[in-house]
């Protein structure tokens, strides 16, 4: 098991990359007594040949972080693997596995007018592409039981079930949740790990944007990912998205196909993180906002909050709508950025969205206050979404056990009034006597 990650610092100097990679490989077991440093562009091939001859047994090589390499360095490494392989097994590894987050065809290059290799078998080196699946519920339990066997610290059945529900078995998340709990939160091995510990770990994990989640944020900026995630956030259908892009985002583990049909975000943690990541840039752009929505004893005043948001929208909205590349959901992002300023004082903001729902639902919780919000967009050549929005919001409020909520209708038609002129609010009572505040923006 070796890695080529150190070579990524030299993606346009394959000679320097080779030296860095080989320097790292020399720390592995069963390496040859001497390494070959001849002409650049041949060193990987030559040293794998020397390695195979030195150990006098079949060598199976797993090369990790292969997709950290780009451009000339990536091309050089792949060509050397291709050129050396016909000499196996006597003078080259018997088998080579490339490990990364992408299929080989999606490795990044800057050549030929494309930013990726665009072929399933570049240089004919690929035999098959295997995706590491998520753990199932039994495997999550088995993994956590290994900790119990070593330390006698128990994970309750509720804790294990909650971890699986939050992660849907995504391996990094399953491990990260448990690591946060047992290494930082509950170091006393006599204390059992509960559902509440797992939920708290989830919030801690999301808040600092861990390395894995930072990597996820970078993926969201890729056009191929945006083509799928943006309509999901907007509740629209995917439209004309290529099968290649759909498979790519599935392979990244961001989305999965629901048994009943259609794409959904892979797990609740990703479902929470994706909007947070997209909101971050806009949130950092917001001016200072005085918390006029708080009462003297620190409770949330919903009417004052709505007044503050409408005032903010009237003064700040135009430049903020351009602060995100996800233009279809730009109003949603601005609203969520504002609400994050509110909940940073001690609340939470939960989101529900999916393909084909044509809406996003938000639930703001701040101390004793729970607020249900629905977001709808009035698009070009479509009917006024207010009637449908009221019906959908009432269903959402029923699930939350609430008798009132807000419906935002963002007018994105070309002939819409100016941002300031289109602002209005009215109160509607539903058939089931729920009070809906309709805000048009």
CB atoms within 10 A of CB 46: 18
Q: Which CATH number fits the domain that encloses residue 163? A: 1.10.8
Give, rounded to a whole angstrom, the gap between the first and last alpha carbons of the chain: 56
Q: Return per-residue pLDDT of the chain as tens, 441 residues.
A: 999 999 999 988 999 999 999 999 988 877 777 788 888 999 999 999 999 988 878 999 999 999 889 888 988 998 899 899 889 888 999 999 999 877 766 665 544 445 565 554 555 555 677 778 899 999 999 999 999 999 999 999 999 999 999 999 999 899 999 999 999 999 999 999 999 999 999 988 887 555 556 677 778 888 889 999 999 999 888 888 888 888 888 888 889 888 877 889 999 999 888 888 888 878 888 888 889 999 999 899 999 999 999 999 988 887 788 778 898 899 999 999 999 888 876 788 899 998 878 899 999 999 999 999 999 999 988 999 999 999 999 999 999 999 999 999 999 999 888 888 899 999 999 989 999 999 999
pLDDT at 425 (0 to 100): 94
Q: Looking at the structure, do residues 105 and 184 belong to the same domain, yes or no?
A: no
The pLDDT value recorded for residue 262 is 82
Q: Which residue has the tokens 């987050």?
A: 101
Boundary of a domain, candidates 94, 124, 154: 124
The radius of gyration of the chain's CA atoms, rounded to the nearest angstrom, is 26
Is 50 in the same domain as 152?
no
| Residue that is last in its domain, among 168, 187, 208 | 208
Is residue 231 included in any domain, yes or no?
Answer: no
**Half-sphere exposure (CA, 13 Å, Cβ side) for 89?**
9
3-state helix, strand and coil shares in percent for the chain, rounded to the nearest 5: 50, 15, 35
Q: Are residues 379 and 414 located together in one domain of the fold?
A: yes
Nearest to 21 by CA among 46, 38, 43: 43
How many angstroms separate the CA atoms of 153 and 55, rounded? 43
**257 inside domain:** no
User: What's the pLDDT at 345?
Assistant: 65
Instruction: Determine the pLDDT at residue 212.
Output: 59
431 and 339 share a domain?
yes
Residues 290 and 435 placed together within one structural domain of the fold = yes
Same domain, 286 and 430: yes
Q: Identify whether 221 is part of a domain.
A: no
Is residue 258 a part of any domain in this protein? Answer: no
SS3 call for 244: helix
In a domain, 234, yes or no: no
Q: Is residue 350 part of a domain?
A: yes
Residues 197, 185: contact at Cβ < 8 Å?
yes
Which pLDDT belongs to residue 219?
83
- Report whether 375 contacts 332 (CB < 8 A): yes
Instruction: Count structural domains, the chain.
Output: 3
Does one domain contain both 154 and 176?
A: yes
Residue 433 shares a structural domain with residue 304: yes
Residue 244 lies in a domain: no
Cβ atoms < 10 Å from Cβ of 237: 12
Q: Are 40 and 80 in contact (CB under 8 A)?
A: no
187 and 119: one domain? Answer: no
Chain centre distance of CA 99? 20
Same domain, 420 and 296: yes
350 forms bridges with which residues in the sheet? 363
- DSSP-based three-state secondary structure for 437: strand
Question: DSSP secondary structure string, 271-315?
Answer: HHHHHHHHHHHHHHHPPP---TTB-TTS-B-HHHHHHHHHHHHHH
| 112 and 165 both lie in a single domain | no
Answer yes or no: do 120 and 156 share one domain: no
Beta bridge partners of 428: 436
Looking at the domain assignment, is residue 225 inside a domain? no
* Contact yes or no for 305/342 (Cβ under 8 A): yes
pLDDT for the residue 168:
95
What b/e string do you get for 349-381 counting C-beta neighbours within 10 Å, with b at 16 or more?
bebebbbeebbbbbbbbbeeebbbbbbbbbbee
Asked if 68 and 5 count as a contact pair (C-beta separation under 8 A), the reply is: yes
Say what the pLDDT of residue 166 is: 95
- Least Cα distance to 273 among 317, 322, 210 occurs for 210
Total residue length of the chain: 441
Tokens for 403, please give them.
């008798």
Q: Is 71 left (phi over 0), alpha (psi -120 to 50) or beta?
A: left
Question: What is the number of other CB atoms lying within 10 angstroms of the CB of residue 433?
Answer: 7
Cis amide prior to 89 (ω within 30 degrees): yes
**Structural domain boundaries enclosing 78:** 2-124
Q: Look at residues 58, 92, 124 and tell me which one is the last residue of a structural domain.
A: 124
């Amino acid at each position: 098991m070796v890695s080529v990650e150190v070579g990524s610092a030299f993606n346009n100097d394959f000679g320097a990359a080779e030296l860095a990679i080989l320097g790292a490989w020399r720390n592995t077991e069963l390496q040859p007594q001497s390494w070959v440093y001849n002409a650049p562009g041949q060193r990987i091939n030559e040293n794998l040949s020397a390695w195979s001859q030195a150990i006098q047994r079949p060598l199976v090589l797993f090369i990790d972080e292969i997709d950290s390499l780009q451009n000339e360095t990536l091309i050089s490494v792949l060509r050397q693997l291709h050129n050396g392989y016909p000499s196996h097994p006597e003078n080259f590894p018997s088998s080579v596995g490339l490990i990364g987050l992408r299929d080989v065809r999606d490795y990044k290059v800057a050549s030929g007018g494309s930013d990726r290799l665009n072929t399933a078998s570049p240089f004919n080196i690929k035999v098959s592409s295997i995706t590491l699946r998520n753990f199932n519920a039994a495997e999550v339990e088995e993994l956590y039981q290994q900790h119990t066997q070593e330390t006698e610290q128990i994970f309750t059945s509720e804790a294990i079930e909650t971890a699986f529900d939050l992660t849907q078995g995504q391996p990094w998340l399953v491990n990260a949740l448990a690591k946060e709990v047992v290494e930082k939160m509950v170091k006393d091995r006599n204390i059992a790990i509960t559902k509440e510990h797992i939920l708290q770990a989830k919030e801690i994990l999301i808040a600092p944007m861990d390395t894995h989640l930072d990597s996820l944020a970078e993926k969201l900026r890729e056009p191929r990912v945006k083509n799928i995630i943006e309509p999901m956030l907007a509740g629209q259908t995917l439209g004309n998205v290529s099968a290649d892009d759909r498979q790519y985002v599935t392979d990244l583990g961001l989305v999965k196909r629901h048994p009943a049909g259609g794409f959904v975000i892979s797990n609740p943690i990703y479902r929470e993180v994706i909007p947070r990541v997209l909101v971050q840039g806009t949130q950092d752009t917001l001016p200072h906002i005085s918390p006029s929505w708080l009462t003297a004893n620190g409770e949330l005043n919903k009417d004052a909050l709505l007044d503050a948001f409408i005032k903010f929208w009237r003064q700040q909205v135009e430049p903020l709508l351009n602060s995100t590349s996800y233009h279809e959901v730009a109003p949603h992002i601005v609203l969520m950025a504002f609400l994050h300023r509110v909940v940073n004082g001690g609340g939470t903001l939960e989101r529900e969205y999916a393909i084909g729902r044509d809406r996003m639902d938000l639930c703001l919780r701040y101390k004793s206050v729970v607020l249900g919000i629905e977001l709808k967009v009035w698009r070009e050549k479509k009917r006024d979404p207010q009637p449908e929005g009221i019906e959908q919001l009432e269903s959402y409020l029923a699930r939350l056990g609430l008798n009132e909520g807000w419906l935002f209708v963002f007018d994105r038609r070309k002939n819409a009034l100016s941002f300031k002129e289109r602002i209005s609010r009215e109160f509607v009572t539903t058939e089931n006597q729920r009070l809906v505040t309709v805000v048009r923006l």
